Every structure is written in C-alpha cells, then in structure tokens.
Amino acid sequence: MSAGFLSVLQQAMAMAKKATVRTLGIIGDDLAINAKQLSGGEADRELPMVYAVAKGSLKNKAILIPAALLLGVTLPGLIMPLLTIGGAYLCYEGVEKFLHRKEHEHPQKTEHEVKDHAAWEKRRVKKAIKTDLILSAEITAVSLWTVAAAPFVVQAAAMVASGIAMTAVVYGFVAGILKLDDLGAKMAKKTGDGFLAKAQRGLGKAVLRTAPKLVKTIGVIGTIALFLVGGGMVLHGIPGGEHFMSTALTAISSNAFVQGAVTLAAETVAGIVAGFVSIPVMKALTPLAGKVRDLGKKLFSRFKTKKPAADTNNSVQQTSEASQDALKNVADVKKALNAAVQPPVNDNPSPEIKKPGKDDNLKIK
C-alpha cells in the first residue's frame, strides 16, 4: 500500500471524524421527531420501520452527496454563499422550533386507534423519509463546510464516511428510543414478591417516566445546536468574519478554554440573530416555493402519465391473441349451430310400430 494512499486515507478519516462531530449537534431535534413519527404502532414492527427509513436515508445521501461534490467541481464559487444560506436556514429552523415548540408535542395515534396498520406504517415511513431528506441536506451541508478546503478525493471519502456513520448513529439511536418504552413496560409487568422482581418493576416504571423526558431533552439540545452550528456557518460565510473573530479572541484572552467558550457563545448568539432575521425572508419565499413545488408535481405527473411508444413485439403478440380469440369464438358459434339443427333426443322412446308387410292378412268382420 503506497504512502500517498495512506496519507489520503488518514486525511479522509480525520475529516470524516470532524464532520461527524459537527453534525452530531444538529441531529438532536430531528432525531426526536423521527422517534415520535415511528412510535405508536405494533411493537414487533418498530425495528422494520426504522430499517426502512434508514434505507431511505442512505438513498437521500446517495443523491445529495454527489450533487454537493459536483457543485464543488463545476461551480466552486457558489459553495460558500450556499453554505451561508444553509447556515441561516438552520438558524431559522431553530427559531421556528423554539417559537412553535408546543406544536411538536402532540401525541401520535396509538395502535388501537389505527384500523389499517399496514397503510399507517407506510404513511409514517414515507413521512419520516421526507423529514430525513431535510436532515440529510443539513448533514451534507455541514460536512461540505468541514471538508471544503481538502482535495476532491478526501472530500468524497470523508463525506461518504460521515454520511454512513450519521445514518447508523441516528437510526440506531431512534431504534433504542423506541425499544426503551417496550423494555420499561416489560420490566414494569414483572411478577413476583421477591426483591429482584420489585426492583425490576420499579426500574421499569422509572424508565417509562424517563423516556418521554429524554426525547424532549434531546430535542432541546438539538435546537440549541442548530443555533450553534448554523451561527458558525453564517460567521464563516461573512467576508472577514473569521478574521474578526480571531482578532477579538486574541484581544480577550490567550487561554484556549476561554477562547473556546467565547467562540461557542458568539456562534450561538449569531445563530439566534440570523434565525430571527431569516423569518420575514422565509415567509416571503415560502409561497413562491410552494408554487414551484406544485408546478414540479404537475410536470412530473404529466411525464409519468405519458403514453409509451407502441412496441412492435407487443403489437404482434396482441394481434396473435386477438386472432386466437376470434377463432375460438367461431368454433363456439359452429358448435352452437350444430346443436340447434340436431333433432331432439327423446329420453322415453315409444315402442316401435311394425309396418304391415305383404304376407300380413287383414281380417274384416
């Protein structure tokens, strides 16, 4: 194995680790949302649902990561403005989730309220994959921001590795959250009067009480992380922003811990400000985005329903089948006509009457 390949591999792993650490912060709220979307169904179907969404997540990243890499090759000048816009969107998302946090706390329908579980499961998985599309876009943007200065090969390897790792982390954690309730319920139903049985029942009840709070706490941490990561992307995208931050940190203190704390605080404050500034912009752009989406759906539906070109083989096959049907109909008609002209069969024939012959004598009285 050549030294050059080992060097590229080491750089890619280091970049992937850095990108994964940065993206871990923004997944908290989306992780909690996905856990809520996939809960409420049959216990033995929760893991298959999580697996289906994880596959959809990998498909989302298989589209987004090559698109981001292609953008970096063809139009590298657009990367930083787009990343800045992406950071502003993360901040906007954080503000919206903070202002409308009660709307995200509605309980999902439980299994006894669902008549057709297969249809319910299909809807939930589809909705979770759509939610993951936004999450995957955020992960891709943060990963691209992290590896933007690296060579193309390092960028590609790091982003692919980070994307796979994040999918495993997110949906592994979602599966753990969903099964936490089942574990608590099973432990709470433990029978027996012994010490261990009582301890298991108590621990199970504690798990059932703690699980919803855990999901809520993860959501709050995720929302704060949206401001932190998004604010960092905005500051990084502002011309001269990084230089200003470096100069200010040097003037404040030379201690690395103090500089790190000030940097986190500054990025969080910048994220909150950017989020509130983005609200009127997003409200103005949302109707336009809706019209573009509807137009895209119409064009896609027209393309999807377009009649395919005639196939010669299919035409020959259809003609052959039609000829066979016609011959079959002719045979049926002939059979019916033959049956109509045949004399009726008498089930109780009368005794045969013998005709008089030459030797028969007729006696007349």
DSSP secondary structure code for residue 133 in this structure:
H
Half-sphere exposure at residue 179, Cβ-oriented, CA atoms within 13 angstroms: 13
**How many CB atoms lie under 10 A from the CB of residue 190?**
16
- The predicted model scores a pTM of 0.64
Mean pLDDT computed over every residue of the chain = 76
Structural contact between residues 88 and 231, judged by C-beta atoms closer than 8 angstroms = no
Token digits of residue 165: 């790792």
Q: What is the mean pLDDT of residues 43-60?
A: 88
CA dist 94 and 181 (Å) reads 28
Would you state the pLDDT for residue 365? 40
Higher per-residue confidence, 30 vs 256: 256
**Would you call 20 exposed, middle or buried from its count of C-beta atoms within 10 A (0-12, 13-18, 19+)?**
buried
Please name the residue that has the structure tokens 């969404």: 53
Count CA atoms closer than 13 A to 305's CA, side-chain side.
Answer: 6
46, pLDDT greater than 90: no
Contact 57, 49 (CB under 8 A): no
Q: Who has greater pLDDT, 117 or 310?
A: 117
Asked if residue 332 has pLDDT above 50, the reply is yes
What are the C-alpha distances in Å from 174 to residues 34, 106, 117, 305?
7, 18, 20, 38
Pairwise CA distance, residues 342 & 213, whole Å: 88
- pLDDT score of 239: 80
For residue range 162-188, list pLDDT tens digits in order.
Answer: 889 888 988 888 888 888 877 888 888
In the block, tokens 């009457």 appear at: 353
pLDDT of residue 65: 93
**Quick one: pLDDT band at residue 318, thresholds 50, 70, 90?**
low
The residue count of the chain comes to: 365
* 97 to 36, 89, 222, 227: CA distances (angstroms): 15, 12, 10, 11
Integer Cα distance of 365 and 363 in angstroms: 6
- The pLDDT tens digits of the residues spanning 110-157 come to 544 456 778 888 888 888 888 788 788 888 888 888 888 888 888 899
